[in-house]
Amino acid sequence: MNSSSKGPSDLAHRMADRRRTGGPVQSSIRQETGQWSRETFVMPRIDAREKARALFARFPKAAYMTEIEWWRECDDGQIEFTIRRLRSSD
């Protein structure tokens, strides 16, 4: 596997490394399949709220069917969430 891989296992390894070193965990994975675009983020709770609000403002639910598809609170207090939306036509 090369160093530019963006799969789930790559995210898990990067998060584990940052937890061991005590560094902040802020990451994003973007995946586009078919007509859906999904982005997964890991960040502190306040930053996660701001990011979700910004994405809903940029991609309104009425036009893009934007939704928080999945979320969880990590052991270290970070929030991991996946936001799904329709890809834009432009």
Domain boundary assignment for the chain: 29-90
CB atoms within 10 A of CB 47: 15
pLDDT value at residue 9: 73
Contact between 82 and 43 under an 8 Å Cβ cutoff? The reply is no
Contact between 48 and 81 under an 8 Å Cβ cutoff? The reply is yes
pLDDT, tens only, 17-49: 666 554 444 567 777 777 889 999 999 999 999
Distance from first CA to last CA of the chain, Å, rounded?
Answer: 33
pTM above 0.85, yes or no: no
Write the single-letter amino acid at 43: M
* Token code pair at residue 7: 């799969």
Residue 1 has pLDDT above 50, yes or no: no
